[in-house]
Structure 1
Amino acid sequence: MVANAVVVSALCAITVLMMSGLGFSGTAGAAMLAAPVYLRIHKPVLAAVLVAVAALTATVVLQTWPFAVGLWAVPMVVHRVAARSSGRARFGILALAMFTALVVTVISPRWSSPLFSVEGFSYGSVDWWAGLLLITPLMWLTIVTAYLFGDLKRVKWEREVALAQRAQALSDRAEALAAWAHRLEVERDQEVRLAAQDERTRIAREMHDIVAHSLSVVITQADGARYAASQDPQAATDTLARISVTARDSLTEMRRLLGILRTEEGPLTAPVPGFGNLPELVAGVRQAGLPVELVLPRSDDAVAALPPGASLAIYRLVQEALTNALKHSPGATAAMVRIRTGWEWVEAVVINDGVLTEVDSTTTKPLPSSGQGLRGLAERLGVYGGQLQAGPVPENPDRWMVRGWVRTRSSAASQQKGGS
């Protein structure tokens, strides 16, 4: 704005020095025409309207023609309007400027000599026709040229603004994408950590089931062999052989689990135990000295529909229940494993006695428990839509019951379909 004021003031001074003898009306008309140009930076439309009003006032009222000032004042305001105003304002000011130039040229007092006069009626002069045909097109050309330069500047400015906005939008989008990528990376790391935690939990659960069961069987058999050695050496030898087999089987399963962690090496794999391995499991517990009755369903259709993980969960339930019977009920004399099936479920129930039976603490002691087995077992069953119950049998507190069930593959699929 300061630069505009300096330029306008310099042009006014040059005009006054070049145009001598303007008189009061000429000076007033020039001042009226030049003053609004100071407003053209911030209020270009208002400045253009005031210039038009000043030109008409100077021509009609003051009877002067401020051509010298109008030669630079009008193009400056028209240029600014074209460069910074809206489309309707630009076209309106362009029309007003051309109309004002025509009116000022037609009624200019410089051309007062009549071309002809008949009975008091006079019409124009030679100078009037020259101004109308020559000066008016020249003024229009000047106005249109200033408008076109201003419009060109506006288009360039709008293009620069659009490019700046596009660059800013691209920058914002890049920042958003970077933030999104960072969030995805964080979520991926979290998922990796959660997956690793789940895998550790699964492996710890498997290790607990394998080690707890195997050690319980080994301890029970070792106690029996120790007291049978003096009376029946052959029974002690057979018991020690069973201990060896049990330990080797446990070692094989532990190697299988640890092999999962060795992704770069070929892991030592073995078939995952399941429902079909229940007879072998029960036979091993029988060899440990606890008579176990196994009751299987007549139909294997529901069992065949079990996913491998659900079949493993049933196996672990029976294993955990029999292991707890060996560990915490040293006075147990019998146990029963009953498998029942329905249209959408498979249930395992394990019942053993000896909960309240007193035993000789010098020969057999209950083993301590961490409570992790049943908790992990409940988590296993919950994955397949099942539940776990454990506690004394209401009719006979001396008997302990572990009951759990899982859904079959068909029922789990229908449940997912209904939920989706």
Structure 2
Amino acid sequence: MSTNEVLFPPGATQRDWVADGILAVTVTLLSIVPYYVQVGYVELFSPLTMFSAAITLPLVLRRHSPLLTLALVSLGGTMQLFFLPIPTISLVSIPIVSYSVARWIPGRMSRSVIVVGAIASVLGPLAWFGAYASNPNADILFWGACLGAVLTPYAIGRRSREVAESRTRQVHAAEERYRLLLAEREQQTRLAEASTRAMIARELHDIVAHSLSVMIVQAEGGRAVATRKPDVAVEALDTIAETGREALHEMRRIVGVLRAGPTDEPPSYAPAPTLEEIPDMVARTSDRITLVVDGNPQPVSQALALTAYRVTQEALTNFLKHAGSEATAVATLTYSARSITVDVVDNGDGVDDPTDGGGNGLRGMYERVSSMGGSLSAGPRDDGPGFRVHAVIPIGDAARTAAREGMQR
């Protein structure tokens, strides 16, 4: 702690200066006026006024510089001991100084007022009553009373300081907790925004990539048979139109979420296809895809049904984009009491790096399946040419158990 912080620890506001000035003037007047109304002190008017003011007026500095106040009051008290034969009313400022030093001076420096007070408690009674007191018990009583006038306000001041410091620490702790809470809320908000952006990105990718892939395949097929089989070309155009309308509808639902205000009714931005819609989606995708269903779909949550639908959709989209025009694929859906298994296998050329297009599709599938507590593997086939996507999505209690295990890992 610097010397300046010890000499001027609290500082004083304008309001403190005014309050302490009023206190100093009031104590000075109370210390002087009584002597003016008593005839026996006429010859002491000047020294009483001067020495009383020397002890009381420094109280104006008690909050700005308690140690300086102690020094000035000690100097005034010393002059009284030498020049006045009696104690004065102005000594009432001593308890005020003792409290001020204890309240605003930190550490051991505050004990200086006890040292000064203990010396003055002995010298004062000796100077004022030593010539008249014949009983040592009286001297001890005087000393104890003077020392008590110093120790009692000192103890009160230290206690006040401890309470103030405790409150300050509590305020700082509360402010720190509040800052941490704000930082945590901001982090949670950012995580929620990132999660929402990732979710919307997955939806947009699935919708756009699948719809465009289907439209491109149908357009190329329709062009190839337009002259030979006009009816097939018309069916291809119908499929393109239907796929485009469906994609546009889903895009509007997602954009509706982005434009919705806080007071608007929250729209469902995520399309909510069911498991029963997967065969229709496969049929619209391409006639080179064979669907095999093992078991019967059971009622599941909307999120789980959407995950199974999107994984199947994205796997077929990758097939259309990378397998080649002559390749075929088999999509197998296996429904059991504990899980739904999606297995899409093709015999196409595939790609060396399945993430050469940015990997958004595969990353989206991994994120979807992982969020449901499932597992997904995607890569070239080991038993021949082609690519395979295999996803296992648990249902009910199995999903919760898998999710807990994933969080523990």
TM-score normalized with structure 2 length? 0.63
Q: 1:69 to 1:252 in 2, by over 3 A?
A: closer
Question: 1:389 deviation in Å?
Answer: 1.4
The yes-or-no answer on 1:323 pairing with 2:320 is no
Question: Which of the numbers 241, 245, 260 marks the counterpart of 2:257?
Answer: 260
Aligned to 2:287: 289
Match of 1:173 among 170, 173, 184: 170
Equivalent position amino acid for 2:396 in 1: R
1:227 equivalent to 2:300? Answer: no
AA aligned to 2:287 is G
- 3-state DSSP class of the match of 1:339? strand
Deviation at 1:249, TM superposition (A): 0.6
User: Does the residue aligned with 1:406 lie in a helix, a strand or coil?
Assistant: strand
Aligned residue in 2 for 1:389: 377
Alpha carbons of 1:42 and 1:323: their partners in 2 closer, same or farther (altered >3 Å)?
A: same
Partner of 2:368, secondary structure, is helix
Counterpart of 1:396 in 2: which secondary structure?
Answer: coil
- SS across alignment from 2:324: coil
1:402 corresponds in structure 2 to 389
Q: Deviations over 1:359-397 (max 9, x none)?
A: xxxxxxxxx833210111111111122222122322222
* Alignment CA distance shift 1:346-1:73 (3 Å): farther
Alignment check: 8 A CA contact 1:229 1:236 kept? yes
Cα offset, 1:140, TM superposition: 3.3
Letter in 2 for 1:400: F
42 and 11 in structure 1: CA distance in 2 versus 1, 3 angstrom threshold: same
**Cα distance between partner residues in 2 of 1:394 and 1:40:** 90
Matching residue of 1:347:
341
Match of 1:280 in 2: 280
1:261 and 1:233 map into 2 onto residues whose CA distance is 42
Q: CA deviation at 1:187?
A: 2.2
Partner of 1:30: none
Q: 238-247 vs 274-283, which deviates more?
A: 274-283
Distance between the aligned counterparts of 1:412 and 1:252, measured in 2? 31
Deviation at 1:202, TM superposition (A): 0.8
Distance 1:7 1:203, change over 3 A: closer
Counterpart of 1:385, as a letter, is: G
Of 42, 63, 66, the match for 2:115: 42
Q: In structure 1, what is the equivalent of residue 144 of structure 2?
A: 147
Tell me which amino acid in the other structure corresponds to 1:405.
V
CA contact (8 A) 1:12 1:69 kept: no
Q: For residues 334-375 of structure 1, what are the alpha-carbon distances to aligned partners after superposition, in whole Å with 9 as ceiling and x for unaligned?
A: 321112345543221001223279xxxxxxxxxx83321011
- Structure 1 Cα separation of the partners of residues 167 and 350 of structure 2: 76
CA distance in 2, matches of 1:74, 1:169: 45
**Distance of aligned partners of 1:154 and 1:12 in 2 relative to their CA distance in 1, 3 Å threshold:** same
Q: How does 1:89-238 map to 2 (within 5 A)?
A: 135-136=134-135, 140-141=137-138, 143-238=140-235
Q: Residue type of the partner of 2:391?
A: G
Supply the RMSD in Å over aligned alpha carbons: 3.7
In structure 2, distance between residues paired with 1:389 and 1:309: 20
The letter for the 2-side match of 1:391 is G
Match of 1:336, as an amino acid? V
CA distance in 2, matches of 1:339, 1:40: 89
Identity %: 30
Unaligned runs of 5+ in 1: 16-38, 52-67, 76-100, 106-134, 358-367
Q: Residues 332, 42 of structure 1: CA spacing in aligned structure 2 closer, same or farther, 3 A cutoff?
A: same
Normalised by the length of structure 1, the TM-score is 0.62
Q: CA deviation at 1:289?
A: 3.4
- What is the distance in 2 between the residues matched to 1:223 and 1:14? 119
User: Is the alpha carbon distance of 1:153 and 1:3 closer, same or farther for their aligned partners in structure 2, counting shifts above 3 Å?
Assistant: closer
Q: Which amino acid aligns with 1:404?
A: A
For the 8 Å contact 2:222–2:232, the answer to whether it is kept is: yes
Q: Secondary structure, in 3 states, of the residue corresponding to 1:209?
A: helix
The Cα shift of 1:254 comes to 1.0
**Distance across 2 between alignment mates of 1:171 and 1:335:** 72
- 1:325, 1:332 within 8 Å by CA — same for their partners in 2? no
Is the contact between residue 318 and residue 348 of structure 1 (CA under 8 Å) also seen in structure 2? yes
Q: Tell me the residue number matched to 1:377.
A: 365
Q: Cα deviations across residues 247-280 of structure 1 (Å, max 9, x unaligned)?
A: 0011111111111223224566485124232112
**Separation in structure 1 between the aligned mates of residue 211 and residue 339 of structure 2, nearest angstrom:** 29
Unmatched segments (≥5 aa) in structure 2: 1-70, 86-111
Task: For 1:170 and 1:260, locate their aligned partners in 2 and report how far apart those are by CA, in whole Å.
Answer: 47
Structure 2 Cα separation of the partners of residues 272 and 372 of structure 1: 21
Give the total of aligned pairs: 304
Deviation (angstroms), 1:189: 1.8
Amino acid at match of 1:190: Q
- Cα drift, residue 213 of structure 1: 0.4
Aligned partner letter, 1:314 = A
In 2 relative to 1, CA 197–400 (structure 1 residues): closer, same or farther, beyond 3 Å?
A: same
